[in-house]
Chain A
Amino acid sequence: MAKLKLAVYWTAACGGCDMAMLDMGERVLELDRVADIVLWPLVADFKYSDVRQMEDNAIDICLLHGAVRNEENRQMAELLRQKSRVLVALGSCACFGGIPGLANFFDRQEIFTWVYLESQSTDNAGGVCPQTSARVPEGELTLPEFFDTVLTLDQVVDVDYYIPGCPPTTEMLWQAIQTLTGDQLPPKGTVFAGSKTLCDRCTRQKEGKSITGFRRLAAVDIDLQRCFLEQGIVCCGPATRSGCGGRCLRANMPCRGCFGPTEHVRDQGARLVGAIAAMIASDHREEIEKISHLLPVPDDPAATFYRFSLPHSLLKRKRKENAS
């Protein structure tokens, strides 16, 4: 059998998913036995022109990690879609927008103003902000356009499979690669993770969700056996897809939600807000407000509940002031 052609590419991402690939260890060599790597900026030098010269569908499997943040990301996503038989959204950024997606609580102008003008570490006497084109004596310089809104991969191109996680676990990654390089491809849209939420796999004791106060993890002596939420510690597990193997939970850290919502949920953050509101053990408005104010995230509840999934959610971004 001819070797498969594999591409790995990143857009707006931290590179953690690449690290997860490398974390597979010797299995990378096994991967090499079944597939030729035709693009992987982390490990080898390829040029965009190399990709452009390929025939359509020349790549068998493309693992793309990262959100779509600018015009270059979009063009590469479109190019790789065109050149790939199977396009996989790898990691939380590609699947849901991930951490870069939190920028959707701001717009381009706000981000530029802070990053290039106002932040204390900035020295930009000329007040220059990124522009798509600038004239210099040598000619015209161009930059890809920085989008107002961070997008998920599937908001830009058609995506075949999803491997969530920040980063995905190496076990899961290896399993997905084995499946994708095997004879039988799973149904389109398959998410390489569990179908239920993390609570299904969590072994902590659950008695009943009734919260009289929220607490910071660092401020309490936690019961290592008991459900975090039942101790008043915000855990995103109930609204987060399982499949991570509970690596945070095993380290006594509550879930932060990187595997995104389950199949039937469009908005992980809204689900979490609804679920946590339902846990507050009071029917009296004032008492509820008192308890809610004890949430350990008073300044940033949005980023707590939408940490990895804002662009994917119904909310998608902060409302634009001039929106009709």
Chain B
Amino acid sequence: MPERIGVYVCHCGSNIAATVDVRQVVEQAAKWDSVVVARDYKYMCSAPGRELVIKDIRELNLTGVVVASCSPRMHEAMFRGVLEEAGLNGYLLEIANIREQCAWVSLPGAGATAKAVALTRAAVKKARLNQPIWEREIPVNQATLVVGGGIAGIQAALQVANAGYLVYLVEREPYIGGHMAQFDKTFITLDCATCILTPKLAGVERHPNIRLMTCSEVVQVDGYVGNFRVRVKTSPRYIHEASCTGCGACERACVLWDSIPAEFDEGLGRRGAVYVPFPQAVPLKARVDGKNCLYLTTGNCRRTCVTACQRGAIDFDQKETVSEIAVGSIIIATGFDVFDPGVEPRWGYGRYENVITGMQFERMSNASGPTLGKILLADGTEPRRVAVVHCVGSRSKKYHRHCSRVCCLSSLKFAHLVREKTGAEVFEFYTDLNIFGKQYDEFYHRVREEGVHFIRARGTEVTEIDGQLAVCAEDVELGVYREIPVDMVILNTALIPRHDAEKVSRLFGISRSSDGFFMESHMKLDPVTTFMNGIYLAGCCQSPKDIPDSVAQGAAAAAQALSVIARGKVSLSPVTARVTEELCSGCRICLRTCPFQAISFDQAAGTAEINEAVCKGCGCCSAACPAGAIDITHYGTGQLLAQIEGVCGNEDKD
């Protein structure tokens, strides 16, 4: 039966029509072989636009449809639905992207129109060769993996677990809670961070549906949405978790007690080689720091900790373990790192002892922190004048272009806490005040009324003038250069991607945006999903955000996972690789090209074999196959060559 193809060219308002002569594309298309109808419409994706296609398919018995419009990422799925509604297989649709790949990147005129014609012709040529194909459905595993136990991951885990499904919560640190557990008060409510976090931590620990894995990292991910297989490496704690009560007797007995900078206290406090991270830690278990423990590093230690532990919980024989878990969805909530201001001398960090980071201030101000909540200088006295420097490493061409979004508010919070606890004068050195959240502006005015000085500063530098710590900057509003003597400087440092974000992105096969954070499917309309089906993002690993936004995204990611579970099955794209056994000579070149381990070698048949459930249709094997024995369904060599011929304007030669 000869192909009968309908071509529909979209104006996309003026998005396409202002650059491309849409009428001319239609006139050209109408002349091509197999094209029985060619039309244009202002918005093909609108209801009347879709109706147009459905009507033509029914009345003109179309066998294929070409929509020349925007990127297939936008509307391909929807137009497939339109074809299905009219009784055609959805894969008989071909999209010609004349918006992103033509109108938006071309100057108006004959050139742009010629390009739109070429792209449309390519789509028609391919559409002639399209075959009906069907998606397959497979059951999903109902368990969910959450990677990262900060507030976003915790929220996601609780949400899924509360719905009645199993959650594996994997956390690299020996405790959950993430950065939030380190904070003192949270803006703008000035709630104690730990107080509002603890119920959630306890909820995770006690939840029958949550398997908490601390000191653990994901090391391998295989499979696909609904059916992931994940390997998790757990480092030894050297503590029997069941026996340990977290009393801390071992830490006080450790010969290195109070001598190792405590990570949780941002180096302001000290701990032993065996330690309980903080009093509200979940799980409240000690951990032996294998890098510093004398016994583990040298074998020579009196092991006073073992004697001190009444429950015999310390076990130096524990080994690293690797467990394999099966899950249907993965939520990545790996959080952020904090910029190190020590890289640039002008911030004085590491040079002057009273220059601290925002995170250090959080610990100092926290009642369970190293100063028990007192704001103190290195000499133990209270500061009288304190500077808060904004945008340290953020909004910078040299370090990180992005705005860290939370620092303006946390800087206001620091000012408030300093005023409240010490009565000191506070100077805020800001570049712009990016204050946008619910009741945030009200908080700003409150802090301003508390007598905090605001200096819109450029070129802020921390220095010492005649032995006096000072912050120098150009005051942009007054147009003068100012040197403000202070006792303490708080550097509000940027929230940046984790140091191992690249490794993690490769592990899970997700992308990163130009700022280095993990990339969502669509910045506005799909901020939680990734390009990997079944893998979702939550919290600051996607972009810096405050606690309410992290919680919201955690819940949204949970909703994504739950929707997969609720459906009970996932559709697998029929776009996969196929081996033509009559052509495969068993050379095995394809085997190592597959990024998804979907190809195996069938010894008995002497040919390559593709697991279609795992295959993503990426085409690596097809490109590598020297015999032409592997083709991708819907993107066969013939179909691609037809497209190339179409783009090259070779209408006569089929």
Contact check, A262 vs B592: say whether CB atoms are below 8 A apart. no
B190 near A: Cβ within 8 Å?
no
Q: With the chains together, A319 CA to B631 CA distance in Å?
A: 28
Q: With the chains together, A208 CA to B600 CA distance in Å?
A: 11
Q: With the chains together, A200 CA to B641 CA distance in Å?
A: 27
Report A-chain residues with C-beta under 8 Å of the C-beta of B592.
208-210, 278-279, 281
Contact check, B589 vs A198: say whether CB atoms are below 8 A apart. no
Q: Return the contact of B583 from the options A263, A266, A274, A277 (Cβ within 8 A).
A: A263
Report A-chain residues with C-beta under 8 Å of the C-beta of B625.
271, 274-275
A215 near B: Cβ within 8 Å?
no
Q: A210-B592, A263-B583, A264-B583 are known contacts. Are A274 and B623 too (CB-CB below 8 A)? A: yes
How far, in Å, is B362 (CB) from chain A's closest CB?
40
Report A-chain residues with C-beta under 8 Å of the C-beta of B268.
none
Within 8 A of B (CB), among A172-216: 195-201, 206, 208-210
B59 near A: Cβ within 8 Å?
no
Contact check, A279 vs B628: say whether CB atoms are below 8 A apart. no
B620 near A: Cβ within 8 Å?
yes
How far, in Å, is B650 (CB) from chain A's closest CB?
13
Closest to B581 in A: A196
Interface residue count for B (Cβ, 8 Å)? 25
Q: With the chains together, A262 CA to B625 CA distance in Å?
A: 11
Contact check, A278 vs B583: say whether CB atoms are below 8 A apart. no
How far, in Å, is A324 (CB) from chain B's closest CB?
11
Report B-chain residues with C-beta under 8 Å of the C-beta of A237.
587
Q: With the chains together, A321 CA to B373 CA distance in Å?
A: 76
Q: With the chains together, A271 CA to B624 CA distance in Å?
A: 7
Q: A196-B582, A263-B583 are known contacts. Are A275 and B628 too (CB-CB below 8 A)? A: no
A266-307 toward B: CB 8 Å interface, digit per residue (1/0)? 100001101101110100000000000000000000000000
Q: A196-B583, A278-B620 are known contacts. Are A265 and B627 too (CB-CB below 8 A)? A: yes
Contact check, B585 vs A238: say whether CB atoms are below 8 A apart. yes
A243 near B: Cβ within 8 Å?
no
Contact check, A196 vs B585: say whether CB atoms are below 8 A apart. yes
Contact check, A278 vs B589: say whether CB atoms are below 8 A apart. yes
B243 near A: Cβ within 8 Å?
no
A59 near B: Cβ within 8 Å?
no
Q: Return the contact of B582 from the options A195, A266, A281 (Cβ within 8 A).
A: A195
B575-604 toward A: CB 8 Å interface, digit per residue (1/0)? 000001011111111111100000000000
A239 near B: Cβ within 8 Å?
yes
How far, in Å, is B616 (CB) from chain A's closest CB?
17
A100 near B: Cβ within 8 Å?
no
- Looking at B586, B625, B627, the one whose CB has the most chain A CB atoms below 10 A away is B627
Contact check, A206 vs B582: say whether CB atoms are below 8 A apart. no
Q: Return the contact of A208 from the options B580, B591, B627 (Cβ within 8 A).
A: B591
Report B-chain residues with C-beta under 8 Å of the C-beta of A277.
624
Q: A264-B637, A266-B641, A278-B592 are known contacts. Are A271 and B587 too (CB-CB below 8 A)? A: no
Contact check, A209 vs B587: say whether CB atoms are below 8 A apart. yes
Q: A195-B582, A196-B582, A264-B580 are known contacts. Are A206 and B628 too (CB-CB below 8 A)? A: no
Closest to B580 in A: A264
Report A-chain residues with C-beta under 8 Å of the C-beta of B629.
262, 264
Contact check, B627 vs A196: say whether CB atoms are below 8 A apart. yes
Report B-chain residues with C-beta under 8 Å of the C-beta of A209.
587-589, 591-592
How far, in Å, is B525 (CB) from chain A's closest CB?
33
Report B-chain residues with C-beta under 8 Å of the C-beta of A281.
592
Contact check, A200 vs B585: say whether CB atoms are below 8 A apart. yes
Q: A208-B592, A266-B641, A278-B623 are known contacts. Are A271 and B584 too (CB-CB below 8 A)? A: no
Contact check, B626 vs A195: say whether CB atoms are below 8 A apart. no
How far, in Å, is B577 (CB) from chain A's closest CB?
14
Q: Return the contact of A275 from the options B584, B626, B631 (Cβ within 8 A).
A: B626
How far, in Å, is A155 (CB) from chain B's closest CB?
13
A261 near B: Cβ within 8 Å?
yes
Q: With the chains together, A274 CA to B606 CA distance in Å?
A: 22
A242 near B: Cβ within 8 Å?
yes
A43-73 toward B: CB 8 Å interface, digit per residue (1/0)? 0000000000000000000000000000000
Contact check, A197 vs B627: say whether CB atoms are below 8 A apart. yes
- Looking at A237, A239, A265, A278, the one whose CB has the most chain B CB atoms below 10 A away is A278
Report B-chain residues with C-beta under 8 Å of the C-beta of A263.
583, 628
Q: With the chains together, A197 CA to B627 CA distance in Å?
A: 6
Contact check, A278 vs B585: say whether CB atoms are below 8 A apart. no
How far, in Å, is B88 (CB) from chain A's closest CB?
28
How far, in Å, is A247 (CB) from chain B's closest CB?
17
How far, in Å, is B129 (CB) from chain A's closest CB?
14
Report B-chain residues with C-beta under 8 Å of the C-beta of A262.
583, 627-629
Within 8 A of A (CB), among B599-644: 606, 620, 623-629, 631, 637, 641
Q: With the chains together, A199 CA to B584 CA distance in Å?
A: 9
Q: Return the contact of B589 from the options A200, A238, A265 (Cβ within 8 A).
A: A238
Contact check, B585 vs A197: say whether CB atoms are below 8 A apart. yes
Q: A195-B582, A199-B586, A209-B591 are known contacts. Are A264 and B628 too (CB-CB below 8 A)? A: yes
Q: What are 14 residue pairs bridging A and B, where the CB atoms are less than 8 Å apart in the complex?
A: A196-B585, A197-B583, A197-B627, A200-B585, A208-B591, A210-B592, A262-B583, A264-B583, A264-B628, A271-B626, A274-B625, A278-B589, A278-B590, A278-B593
The 7 residue pairs across chains A and B that have the minimum distance between CB atoms: A200-B585, A278-B624, A239-B626, A264-B628, A265-B628, A275-B626, A238-B626
Given contacts A239-B627, A271-B627, 12 further A-B contacts (CB under 8 A): A196-B585, A197-B583, A208-B592, A209-B589, A209-B591, A238-B589, A262-B628, A264-B583, A264-B629, A275-B589, A277-B624, A278-B590
B residues sitting closer than 8 Å to A (CB atoms) are: 580, 582-593, 606, 620, 623-629, 631, 637, 641
